[in-house]
Amino acid sequence: MKKISLHWKIIIGMFLGVIIGLIFSSFSGGSIYITNFVKPFGTIFINSLKLIAIPLILASLIKGISDLKDISKLSSMGLLTIMTYLTTTIIAVSIGLLVVNSLGPGKSISDETRTELINAYSNDANEKRDIAEEKKKSGPLQPLVDLVPSNFLNAASNNKNMLQVIFFSILFGIAMILIPAEKSKPVKTFFDSLNDVILKIIDIIMTCAPFGVFALLASLIVEAPNIDLLKSLILYSITLLVGLFVVIIIYLLFIKIFLKRNLREFINGILPAQLVAFSTSSSAATLPVTMDRVENELGVKKEVSSFVLPIGATINMDGTAVYQAVAAVFIAQTFGLDLSLIDQLGIITTATLASIGAAAVPSAGIIVLVIVLAQAGIPEAGLALIFAVDRPLDMFRTVVNVTGDAMVSLIVSKFQKS
């Protein structure tokens, strides 16, 4: 009997999760049962992926950099990686602005619906606004200060500090290159072995992926907002999905035309990572799967994937960039504000920087969206308008983020071969 591919198992798990969620949400007590006895398994799955995110970054980055044995090769790869990520993010924000200005989703929302949403989600909006306010109080160079940890063990204890772990890992790997090979050999052997162990743990966790995504989707369905609230936001959701779809199409065209890669091979190779990204809404949680797929299915060298993908999971948020552009203009439209060309150029700049700074965790983009709104003079109270549909849309945004990371790894891999 032919073995069922992982992505088909995950798709079956997602489908069954939606069906079970709909069934249980239709009768009294069903949603409570799903929340108490099914949702915990989804939480366990996400936690197990997050559990190995920091060890994976540490082991894979140090191994990948130490494998280079040439500091000039590292600098060229780093420059290409950062420039490519910046370029794709700017393109993504521009697409978001083009789509939302063309469709004008915020012009159709009623005053009654707007008031109802603001009242229902004002507490959540205030919480995110307070977090963003703390970020805005920081100096312009605070992100640079935050990049360097004062205590590595403290940084490694929190997945939100991934950039600090990446900084330490790169520094450690560079130091290994700069000392004699015979002195670094024991350390390199350790990290090579640690990397193999982490990859095997990923294999073990992924055998449970279909059950994990089943639990996540079932709980998402029973916890969805009231359908009456969602109706007024359908056009906004469609607008964002169109923008995300256009970005994916651009990715595929680039892969086909410029990288000369087979699209079927790329889609089949990255699909399991996309499905995990969709289920978890976390680029960080999906990172182990993304690295495994691009290396084993797309042929990206480990020295490239171990450098490009951890950085991408932290700073490359193309889906989040589209979202910030669409959400900002949508909120402005609902308040009857006309944004000038200068305002929208400001959104491109701010959203690009905000996307780079967004944590690779669920719904982190909505925190930095406050900064984008403030820059454009858009009322921050409008955050409440999009809370009702933010969680499901975040799933689609994460798929774009992960796909962009995979594409950039192919670009850098091709460059390294030349």
Per-residue confidence (pLDDT) for residue 243, from 0 to 100: 95
In a domain, 63, yes or no: yes
Distance of CA 390 to the CA centre of its chain: 14
Closest to 202 in 3D by CA, of 272, 107, 113, 139: 272
Question: Taking 50 as the threshold, does the pLDDT of residue 80 lie above it?
Answer: yes
Convert the pLDDT of each residue in 325-334 to its tens digit.
888 888 888 7
Residue 116 lies in a domain: yes
User: Does the structure show a pLDDT above 70 at 375?
Assistant: no
How far is 331 from 313, CA to CA, in rounded Å?
Answer: 28
| Number of domains making up the chain | 1
The terminus-to-terminus CA distance of the chain in angstroms comes to 42
pLDDT at residue 104 is higher than 60: yes
Question: Does some domain include residue 197?
Answer: yes
Where residue 132 sits, what CATH number does that domain have?
1.10.3860.10
In a domain, residue 70? The reply is yes
**Could you tell me the residue range of the domain that residue 126 belongs to?**
6-417
The SS3 call for residue 149 is coil
Alpha-carbon dihedral sign for residues 55, 61, 62, 63: positive
Distance of alpha carbon 374 from alpha carbon 136, whole angstroms: 10
For 214-261, the pLDDT digits (tens) are: 988 888 778 765 554 455 567 888 999 999 999 999 999 999 998 989
Determine, yes or no, domain membership for 233.
yes
Q: How many angstroms separate the CA atoms of 338 and 333, rounded?
A: 7
Q: Does any domain span residue 334?
A: yes
Quick one: pLDDT band at residue 361, thresholds 50, 70, 90?
very low
* Residue 292 domain-assigned (yes or no): yes
Alpha helix stretches (DSSP H) within 258-363: 263-280, 283-296, 302-315, 318-334, 341-357
pLDDT of residue 76: 79
Please check whether residue 357 is in contact with residue 243, taking contact to mean a CB–CB distance below 8 angstroms: no
CB 263 within 8 A of CB 256: yes
What are the DSSP calls for 114-136, one per residue?
HHHHHHHHHHHHHHHHHHHHHHH
* Of 361, 47, 45, 397, the residue nearest 214 (C-alpha): 45
pLDDT of 170: 82
Predicted TM-score of the model (pTM): 0.68
pLDDT greater at residue 306 or residue 402: 402
pLDDT at 147: 78
Least confident range from 173-182, 201-210, 285-294: namely 201-210
What mean pLDDT comes out for the span 295-306?
Answer: 87
DSSP structure string for 196-225: HHHHHHHHHHHTTHHHHHHHHHHHHHHTPP
pLDDT in the model for residue 63: 80
DSSP string covering 343-389, please? HHHHHHHHHHHHHHHS-SSTTTHHHHHHHHHHHHT--GGGHHHHHHH
Q: Give the pLDDT confidence score for residue 20 in this predicted structure.
A: 93
Average the pLDDT over 182-193 and give the result: 91
Residue 1 has pLDDT above 50, yes or no: no
Q: Which of 368, 392, 385 is nearest to 332 (CA)?
A: 385
CB neighbour list of residue 49: distance below 8 Å, 6 or more residues apart: 205, 276, 280, 282, 285, 286, 288, 289
For the cut 60, the answer to whether the pLDDT of residue 124 exceeds it is no
The answer to whether 275 and 14 are in contact (CB under 8 A) is yes
95 within domain boundaries: yes
pLDDT tens for 381-392 read 566 567 656 777
pLDDT band at 128 (very low <50, low <70, confident <90, very high): low
Q: Pick from 323, 345, 331, 294: which is nearest to 391 by CA?
A: 323
Q: Do the beta carbons of residue 245 and residue 251 sit within 8 Å?
A: no
Residue 126 reports pLDDT greater than 60? no
Residue 202's CB is within 10 A of a number of other CB atoms, namely 18
When pLDDT is cut at 50, 70 and 90, the band that residue 406 belongs to is very high
- Closest residue by Cα to residue 292 from 273, 314, 317, 312: 273
Q: Which pLDDT belongs to residue 169?
A: 86
